[in-house]
């Protein structure tokens, strides 16, 4: 069995993680405005948010800015000329040490009194000094000539050999950063193994190009010690090596032609094995062909003045590569699940612990919402579930129109109990004149309590208990939502859509027997199913086609019972109509558009459909049209704003319900 241990909270423990309701609330406005759950979730990942404990979760946009800033700081710090300054300085010290050793050997010969020995050392010293004076001025030439030089001073010889081995290791580490552990020893045997490894790697690349299956497992068994990152596939290994070589190539691209030539000549001097150099060049060509997207031709614009030693080049390339890799991953992540590829330890090193914790929570966003039943995967995309749609509507209802919530001002002001048609799940003792909706179970229980156990059970009128009933009214409503381009341009669309979500939540939860249909209208009109309402967005065309919208609304209400009404939310007079199956647009509105729209108003009036209009624009032309429509239909019109629209619509709807109850 699982065991749990509890302790007193001392203020340092981490609180609860982000919860599904908070997440949905954070992105509900974005979702309603754009109508795209996946885009809203992506923007939430980019912007970040606060969890329910008030802790700030960094967004990916902030992290990307920090990664780019870190990269700029590294590039602004170093000067590539330092690669040569450090080596040149150490070579000068070795040459000076050799010259001092020559002088010491000559002095020892003179003090020995051996004339022959003194003459031989004088000649040898003169020859060595001339060689040192004739050393090439360029770094690569000096290294190459000193490799052929016969040192007279043993300490200088050892220092030069150590420098060459160190430079060779650093050079290979820079070219293959993931081989740092494997290249810790640069013995001839180890170099030979490396040459064999590269040859086999090139062979596997050729096999793959020919459609054959390389023996990756056998390769790792023989040469796995070269790869401390322990790649699990040939593709993973090749990608690691390609990234290292591409970074080294970018570094070379960033150098001046003179600096680049010196480094290339230096590498030729250090890697004397022609076969090893050929294998490395061949691997570079193969990887460039296999991974052309690695940015082989890019440059690293170093702008600093701090010398960059060759020994630090590998570490710097590693860090820049890690920064680039994390930046690419974050920039291309469009869903939370893709952040599972992030190495959180590496993210903490590059961005800090807070950013790593934020990434850990960001990658779980979709999982949290899925486990709460608010979203689900459909054909590779995330979609809202019916529960998620209801939750957004309830939030819109609660946040924007709190006075319509239960036990607050604005709730239905009528007596629920009385003669009606629907059981209310409430009970009372029977009184003379009550409808005889007998609750048999409670009645028998009352008799048993009075008489005690046993049969037969004797029932008297005092035992009768009845179920209360409530008045049942029903209405059918179609909400017509203007989605023309002007609604978005004037900042009114989000408020109107929130009203639609809130009205849907109100009717589905408190008036489940009522019918609610929805129609969006721009240049043309479309029926909007409740499950697709969160995805509804504005039209990218001009036109306000009320006639087509009323036509659809009238057809939707034709088969419904109860009082029928249309609630229309708009910010402009009709500027389009449907004729001959085509949408016609004209601005200012043409007389034909006005005529066709008013004809549809007449049809709605004949079928007993009331049209209530909520105007988000106080223009003369809109008021004139609505007044003509009210005169024909006897509906009502309200001028409102995005801030008060919800109050007007929902209060009017509830007033409509109260009128129905008064009529019963």
What digits encode the pLDDT tens for the residues 493-528?
877 788 788 777 777 777 778 888 999 999 999 998
Compute how many other C-beta atoms are within 10 angstroms of the C-beta atom of residue 259. Answer: 16
Q: How far apart are CA 247 and CA 245, in angstroms?
A: 5
> Does 429 or 24 have the greater pLDDT score?
429
The lowest-confidence range among 205-214, 381-390, 601-610 is 381-390
Do both 148 and 59 map to the same domain? no
pLDDT at 34 over 80: no
Q: Measuring CA to CA, which residue among 364, 387, 363 is closest to residue 375?
A: 387
pLDDT at 615 over 60: yes
Q: Decide: 521 and 480 in contact? Cβ < 8 Å.
A: yes
pLDDT at 259 over 50: yes
Q: Is residue 123 part of a domain?
A: yes
Q: Is residue 275 part of a domain?
A: no
pLDDT at 421 over 60: no
Q: Is residue 193 part of a domain?
A: no
Do both 510 and 373 map to the same domain? no
Do both 125 and 72 map to the same domain? no
Do both 614 and 521 map to the same domain? yes
Domain boundary among 167, 186, 219: 167
Query: Nearest 5°: phi and psi at 377?
Result: -85, 130
pLDDT confidence tier of residue 10, bands split at 50, 70 and 90: low
**Top-ranked range on mean pLDDT: pick from 8-17, 149-158, 235-244, 486-495:** 149-158
Q: Measuring CA to CA, which residue among 146, 106, 150, 148 is closest to residue 125?
A: 106
pLDDT confidence tier of residue 602, bands split at 50, 70 and 90: very high
Q: Is residue 542 part of a domain?
A: yes
Beta bridge partners, 383, equal 376
Q: Is residue 204 part of a domain?
A: no
Do both 25 and 137 map to the same domain? no
Do both 71 and 104 map to the same domain? no
pLDDT confidence tier of residue 548, bands split at 50, 70 and 90: very high
Do both 367 and 436 map to the same domain? no
Domain range holding 65?
Answer: 20-76+325-383
Mean pLDDT (the chain, rounded):
78
pLDDT at 656: 59
Both structure tokens of 93: 């010290």
Query: Nearest 5°: phi and psi at 384?
Result: -70, 140
Q: How far apart are CA 338 and CA 346, in angstroms?
A: 16
Domain boundary among 111, 145, 167: 167
Q: Is residue 299 part of a domain?
A: no
Tell me the pairing of strands 515-521 and 475-482: parallel
Do both 481 and 614 map to the same domain? yes
Q: Is residue 302 part of a domain?
A: no
pLDDT confidence tier of residue 547, bands split at 50, 70 and 90: very high
CATH number of the domain within which 515 lies: 3.40.50.410
Q: Decide: 543 and 522 in contact? Cβ < 8 Å.
A: yes
Beta bridge partners, 578, equal 583
Do both 492 and 618 map to the same domain? yes
Domain boundary among 150, 167, 184: 167
Do both 338 and 373 map to the same domain? yes
Q: How far apart are CA 226 and CA 186, in angstroms?
A: 12
Q: How far apart are CA 119 and CA 123, in angstroms?
A: 6
Residues 377-400 have a mean pLDDT of 73
Do both 626 and 540 map to the same domain? yes
Q: Is residue 152 part of a domain?
A: yes
Beta bridge partners, 206, equal none
Do both 503 and 575 map to the same domain? yes
Helix axes 591-606, 620-633, angle to 10 degrees: 30
Query: For the chain, what is the domain count?
Result: 4
At which residue do the structure tokens 């052929």 appear? Answer: 148
């Amino acid at each position: 069995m699982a065991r749990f241990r509890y302790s007193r909270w001392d203020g340092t423990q981490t609180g609860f993680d982000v919860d599904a309701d908070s997440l949905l609330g954070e992105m509900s406005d974005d979702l309603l405005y754009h109508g795209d759950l996946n885009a809203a979730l992506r923007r939430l990942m980019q912007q970040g948010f606060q969890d329910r404990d008030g802790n700030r979760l960094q967004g990916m946009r902030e992290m990307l800015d920090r990664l780019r800033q870190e990269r700029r700081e590294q590039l602004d710090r170093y000067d590539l000329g330092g690669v040569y300054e450090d080596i040149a300085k150490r070579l000068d010290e070795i040459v000076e040490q050799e010259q001092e050793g020559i002088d010491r050997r000559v002095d020892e010969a003179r003090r020995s009194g051996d004339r022959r020995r003194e003459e031989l050392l004088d000649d040898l010293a003169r020859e060595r000094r001339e060689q040192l004076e004739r050393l090439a001025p360029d770094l690569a030439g000096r290294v190459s000539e000193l490799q052929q030089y016969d040192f007279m001073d043993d300490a200088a010889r050892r220092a030069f050999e150590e420098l060459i081995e160190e430079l060779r290791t650093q050079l290979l580490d820079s070219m293959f950063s993931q081989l740092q552990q494997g290249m810790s020893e640069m013995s001839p045997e180890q170099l030979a193994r490396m040459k064999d490894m590269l040859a086999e790697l090139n062979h596997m690349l050729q096999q793959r190009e020919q459609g054959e299956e390389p023996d990756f497992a056998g390769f790792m068994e023989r040469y796995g010690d070269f790869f401390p990152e322990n790649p699990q596939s040939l593709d993973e290994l090749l990608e690691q090596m390609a990234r290292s070589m591409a970074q080294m190539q970018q570094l070379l691209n960033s150098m001046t032609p003179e600096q680049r030539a010196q480094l290339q000549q230096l590498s030729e001097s250090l890697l004397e094995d022609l076969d090893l150099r050929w294998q490395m060049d061949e691997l570079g060509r193969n990887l460039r062909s296999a991974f052309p997207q690695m940015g082989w031709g890019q440059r690293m614009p170093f702008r600093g003045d701090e010398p960059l030693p060759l020994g630090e080049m590998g570490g710097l390339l590693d860090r820049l590569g890690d920064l680039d890799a994390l930046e690419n991953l974050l920039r291309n992540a469009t869903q939370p699940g893709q952040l599972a590829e992030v190495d959180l330890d590496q993210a903490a090193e590059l961005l800090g612990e807070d950013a790593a914790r934020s990434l850990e929570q960001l990658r779980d966003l979709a999982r949290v919402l899925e486990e709460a039943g608010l979203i689900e995967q459909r054909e590779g995309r995330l979609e809202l579930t019916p529960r998620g749609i209801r939750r957004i509507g309830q939030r819109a209802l609660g946040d924007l129109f709190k006075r319509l919530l239960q036990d607050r001002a604005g709730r239905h002001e009528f007596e629920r109990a009385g003669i009606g048609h629907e059981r209310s799940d409430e009970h009372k003792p029977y009184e003379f004149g009550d409808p005889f909706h007998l609750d048999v179970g409670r009645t028998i229980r009352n008799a048993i309590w009075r008489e005690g156990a046993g049969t037969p059970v004797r029932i008297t009128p005092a035992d009768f208990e009845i179920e209360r009933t409530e008045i049942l009214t029903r209405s059918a409503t179609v909400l017509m939502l203007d989605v023309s381009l002007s609604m978005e341009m004037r900042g009114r669309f989000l408020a109107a859509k929130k009203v639609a979500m809130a009205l849907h939540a109100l009717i589905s939860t408190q008036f489940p027997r009522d019918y609610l249909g929805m129609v969006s209208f721009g240049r043309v009109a479309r029926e909007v199913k409740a499950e697709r309402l969160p995805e509804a967005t504005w039209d990218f065309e001009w036109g306000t086609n009320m006639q087509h919208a009323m036509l659809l609304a009238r057809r939707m209400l034709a088969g419904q019972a109860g009082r029928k009404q249309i609630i229309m939310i708009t910010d402009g007079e009709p500027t389009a109509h449907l004729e001959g199956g085509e949408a016609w647009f004209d601005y200012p509105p043409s007389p034909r558009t006005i005529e066709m729209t008013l004809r549809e108003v007449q049809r709605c009036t004949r079928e007993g459909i009331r049209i209530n209009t909520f105007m988000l624009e106080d223009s003369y032309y809109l008021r004139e049209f609505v007044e003509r429509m009210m005169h024909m239909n006897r509906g009502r019109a309200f001028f409102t704003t995005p801030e008060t629209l919800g109050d007007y619509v929902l209060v009017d709807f509830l007033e409509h319900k109260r009128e129905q109850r008064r009529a019963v």
